[in-house]
Structure 1
């Protein structure tokens, strides 16, 4: 069952009803954080991936892709984390979650597309969902191993991309940074030694986690974490 969890305070440019379909700790966490950053009025609808709720008919009627996040704005639905993050940042420019220069804005899109399409869909897909890549169960173990190898390679790229930087794009916090936090927390959850192997990313994660909006979203999702 979809469960409404929370209404958030008074909003800015989006005055209409906003609803976020999410699963705790999934990539929808980044959208949840951004909604808190923007101080928009919204409702949360829990659709637990762990409990298989995204595959149930009721949710498939909302998003036939069977994935979170889904953002509902009045009668319209928007799916895919990069599209939602860019949308929310773009319609609330006063909060400056997108850089002011065109090139840096497209660097945000570059980060978001790669994180979603490659790191999430392919690398973590191989690691967590080998059945999506073959019907031959005898190949699952090798696909999982390759997925882990690909995640490590991607994480090294992220580490290099954050080296010497306060934030991922330009000099200011953007909608990319909470999305990077999601993958950092996933790495910690699957047993990577994030602080040892990715020290620059760990510093970045600490900066993101120090923000009040981030702490509120994590608390609302009932998550616990530690930087390891």
Structure 2
């Protein structure tokens, strides 16, 4: 398998998940819009974004929750998605909320207000709205962890969606992590294989 990523993007969640699973995979840096390489990347992934996963049969998967679910399903021994339907839908519900609401509606507004407002005079209000959504998501996760190690009774794919949001908060200083979320982030970040995977994204090619 090959993961297309951008350093520090939400693809770090999938990169961390792959590292945790421990199966062999390759990584390749995607291209950003506006660069000469972007059209080439769009031939790989017409959506032009990350994460994108090329499976062993050569087919493409996109969208964080879908890639995460696929990886959990093909590695059932890791227990990253519950086997009962109620447990599964609750994990998927949380994963989708973290990605589509907390990230896309919250963090993106706070960091890229121009995507949501044509006038620069509106940027401050858009940023404030985004920060509110982002913080509300972190606070919801804080309450759900409630002293546990993970969002649910065991580690699931939802923890890797939360991890990249927590990491953004730590690195970029957006939002505030409660003690449960800070400990959750540090628990994953302290895993050597995950830390090495994320740090490798910014290493120069040999």
TM-score (norm 2): 0.88
Q: Partners in 1 of 2:75 and 2:120 — Cα distance?
A: 47
Structure 1 position 215 matched with structure 2 position 195: yes
Alignment CA distance shift 1:155-1:53 (3 Å): farther
Q: CA deviation at 1:158?
A: 1.5
Could you tell me whether the CA contact under 8 Å between 2:99 and 2:161 is conserved in 1?
A: no
- For residues 101 and 210 of structure 1, do their structure 2 counterparts lie closer, same or farther at Cα, with a shift above 3 Å needed? farther
Other structure's SS at 1:139 match: helix
Deviates more, 1:24-33 or 1:78-87: 24-33
CA positional deviation for 1:57 = 1.1
SS for the counterpart of 2:148 is coil
1:64 corresponds to? 46
User: How many pairs were matched up?
Assistant: 202
Shift of 1:203: 1.4
CA RMSD of aligned residues (A): 2.2
Q: Determine helix, strand or coil for the equivalent of 2:103.
A: helix
The two structures have a TM-score, normalised by structure 1, of 0.80
Q: Which residues in structure 2 correspond to 1:193-208 (within 5 Å)?
A: 194=176, 197-208=177-188
Query: Contact 1:47 / 1:53 at 8 angstroms: preserved in 2?
Result: no
Tell me, yes or no, if structure 1 residue 98 matches structure 2 residue 78. Answer: no
C-alpha distance 179-135 of structure 1, shift in aligned 2 (>3 A): same
| Counterpart in the other structure of 1:14 | none
1:79 paired to 2:62: yes
Query: Could you tell me how far apart the structure 2 residues matched to 1:169 and 1:53 are?
Result: 41
Query: Superposed, which structure 2 residues align to 1:1-228 within 5 Å?
Result: 18-47=1-30, 49=32, 56-73=38-55, 74-170=57-153, 172-192=154-174, 194=176, 197-222=177-202
Rate the CA distance shift 1:52–1:120 in 2: closer, same or farther, 3 A.
farther
Change (3 A) 1:189 1:60: same
- Distance (Å, rounded) in 2 between the aligned partners of 1:129 and 1:54: 22
Mind listing any 5+ residue stretches in structure 2 that lack a counterpart? none
Q: Cα gap change, 1:76/1:210 in structure 2, threshold over 3 Å: closer, same or farther? A: same
Higher helix share: 2
CA displacement, residues 135-160 of structure 1 (integer Å, 9 cap, x when unaligned) = 22321222112211221222211111
Measured in 2, the distance between the counterparts of 1:163 and 1:153 equals: 15
| Superposition deviation, residue 100 in structure 1 | 3.3
Report the equivalent of 1:15. none
